Structure 1
Amino acid sequence: MRFAISIPQLVEDGTFDPAAFRAFLTRAEELGFESAWTSESTLGAAPMLSPLETMTYAAACTETLRLGCVVFVTPLHSPVHLAKSLASLDQLSRGRIEIGVGTGGRGRMFSAFGVEPDGLVARFNEGLKLMEGLWTESRLTFKGRFWQLEGAAMEPKPFQKPFPPLWFGGNAPAALRRAVRHGDGFFGAGSQTTEQFAGQVRLVREALEDQGRDPATFQIAKRVYLGVGEPSVRVRLGEALRRMYAHAGPEIEAVGVSGSADEVVAGLREVADAGAELILLNPMFDDADQLERLAAEVIPQLKNEPSRSRTPSRPGAHAEPCA
């Protein structure tokens, strides 16, 4: 079982503490977390920092920690600009970037981004193919439905070759099959319960078999919102989740794992048994304190258990480009 930590992104106006941010990431690196992740929420009431800028700041604060976003809602981005930003960040971090991508679904204010909801999946597929072309070809001629380039060059390429690992989000069966066909891994959402995630993993494994893909070349992960401590953490976690998912009903509280260290261990064990090889631990408050408690009270119990997971493939071993 492998563990990642969420990068603190919830920052009220005027309250960002650079020293605390650096200390959190330095400590996460010292404690042996293999990666740290952001998420993307451009519009919303929760005060969430942008992922790219947060990852860039994090890269300057660390030496070995891998850094990612799950997920960039890529149809809302210019793929040329996003490809340039990610290639630059991979260079600046000396090859420590992981990239999560997803369509984001139809529940978005598409008009704010100049994007039509029709053809969302086609736009996602074409944009990803364009990014991969810019990352791998010295000159790219691209004649797509949404974007056209003639002999375009983008330098420098990503530090990782051919480009950083690609994780796919999503929950629909078609999205899971697309992840297996084009990605390096599937990342289950924090807004999904463990039971829902287990069903997604079953579909992923069926797709791996149907497509004749070696499971050892494909990783499975899940974000878990959590809180360790006294019974009051359940109330605090529920409040934080309702604030982040303002349009969700009270059932959103069921996605969290909270309570004593033993209760959190039990909840994370269920996530691992459902198929997660990498678990992204996502405290929703008291980030520094929760980091220490997870490292001291929770992770050692899980790491001392017999391994249920296979060894993952090396980062950056890609399937064929997205078509």
Structure 2
Amino acid sequence: MKFGINLLAVMKFFPLKLFSKLAVLSEELGYNGYFMADHYNLPGPIHECLEPFTTLAYIAAKTKKINLGTMVTPIPRYFPPQLAKIVAHVDHLSEGRIIFGIGAGWHPPEFKTYCQDQTFYDSSQLVNRTIEGMKLIFKLWTEKSVEFEGKYYSLKRANLEPKPFQKPYPPIWSGGKGDFMLKMAAKHFDGWIYVNWEQKNSEDYQKKVEKVKKHLQVFGRDINKFTFAIQASIADPLERVKTFVDAGCNYYVPVLGYPKQLKADQCLPAAKNFAHEVMASFK
């Protein structure tokens, strides 16, 4: 059983030094991963967020062994070759500690401000751009002189160097709860992330885990090598965490929540409390 931690990267409410302090403390406490949402802004009082990959590169220099990842990166918001380059470089800076969490995206204002064509696509195009974008990223990470002609992206004689530190590339976890995204995670990726903002119980999670497992069997993949992650709450008590573990979770990532739920000076104590009250029971 593994545990990560995720502090919402909100500049307005959390001081910059808190992110590195939390990462260093989390490593000392035995957390396996430190994750960041890939958002440039969020609705409501959240507003502007830290860019995740530059922040993770900084945190990589402050830590030694904890994995570092996004939860999750919206592929259609990026130009895939540029994203492939960024992830490969941060993988090198961290000496192979990156976990690449991916998704299709959901927040229109981000796309309209930061996407190359300033458009928020419909749901089918978001998914299709994610699939095509990842195909291109895979090729850039594993091949030289890449030729690619897709519906949305094209490249001629492109060569990305350096290739990722991890071979053939970092572990990739896919978000999404729809049937198609579950199937895609099982077919192409190394893990699946259930984002539980709604604070649902473990029954819904277990149903989706079973669907992913069935897809893994169909595709001839090893279930024991697949990560079933959940992004939940730092306030979750041991009894609740156990229900998700019993439902199939093998990587639990509590979020240090929205500013209204948790102030900056409460973050480090909350991380310590979760480690002592919950994580210690699984050792």
The TM-score with structure 2 as length reference comes to: 0.87
In structure 1, how many angstroms separate the alpha carbons of the residues matched to 2:162 and 2:38?
25
Q: Tell me which moved more, 213-222 or 87-96.
A: 213-222
Aligned partners of 1:29 and 1:64 also within 8 Å: yes
Residue in 2 that maps onto 1:154: 160
Change beyond 3 A, Cα 1:21–1:170: closer
Q: CA deviation at 1:17?
A: 4.2
In structure 1, how many angstroms separate the alpha carbons of the residues matched to 2:230 and 2:83?
24
Aligned partners of 1:6 and 1:281 also within 8 Å: yes
CA-based RMSD: 1.8
Q: How does 1:218-257 map to 2 (within 5 A)?
A: 218-227=226-235, 257=236
Aligned partners of 1:224 and 1:282 also within 8 Å: yes
Aligned partners of 1:8 and 1:287 also within 8 Å: no
Q: Deviations over 1:235-284 (max 9, x none)?
A: xxxxxxxxxxxxxxxxxxxxxx3xxxxxx001111111111001012222
Pick the aligned partner of 2:238 from 237, 247, 265.
265
The alignment of Structure 1 onto Structure 2 pairs a total of residues equal to 265
In structure 1, how many angstroms separate the alpha carbons of the residues matched to 2:16 and 2:137?
34
Aligned partners of 2:234 and 2:270 also within 8 Å: no
Residue in 2 that maps onto 1:63: 64
Residue in 2 that maps onto 1:6: 6
Q: Deviations over 1:99-121 (max 9, x none)?
A: 0111125x634444224435222
Residue in 2 that maps onto 1:30: 28
Instruction: State whether structure 2 residue 214 is matched by structure 1 residue 206.
Output: yes
Pair member with larger Rg: 1
Residue in 2 that maps onto 1:297: 277
In structure 2, how many angstroms separate the alpha carbons of the residues matched to 1:98 and 1:56?
13
Q: CA deviation at 1:202?
A: 1.6
Counterpart of 2:149, as a letter, is: K
Q: CA deviation at 1:90?
A: 0.6
Residue in 2 that maps onto 1:173: 179
Aligned partners of 1:8 and 1:21 also within 8 Å: no
In structure 2, how many angstroms separate the alpha carbons of the residues matched to 1:42 and 1:283?
18
Aligned partners of 2:231 and 2:254 also within 8 Å: yes
Q: Deviations over 1:42-76 (max 9, x none)?
A: 23241432222221221121111110001101011
Gaps of 5+ in 2: none
Q: Secondary structure at the match of 2:160?
A: coil
Residue in 2 that maps onto 1:231: none
Q: Secondary structure at the match of 1:119?
A: helix
Counterpart of 1:90, as a letter, is: D
Identity value in percent:
31
Aligned partners of 2:7 and 2:256 also within 8 Å: no
Gaps of 5+ in 1: 228-256, 258-263, 305-323
Aligned partners of 1:180 and 1:204 also within 8 Å: yes
Aligned partners of 1:187 and 1:221 also within 8 Å: yes
Q: Deviations over 1:188-226 (max 9, x none)?
A: 113252332222112111212222322123111111123
Q: CA deviation at 1:127?
A: 0.5
Residue in 1 that maps onto 2:76: 75
Residue in 2 that maps onto 1:277: 250
Residue in 2 that maps onto 1:120: 126
Change beyond 3 A, Cα 1:164–1:67: same
The TM-score with structure 1 as length reference comes to: 0.77
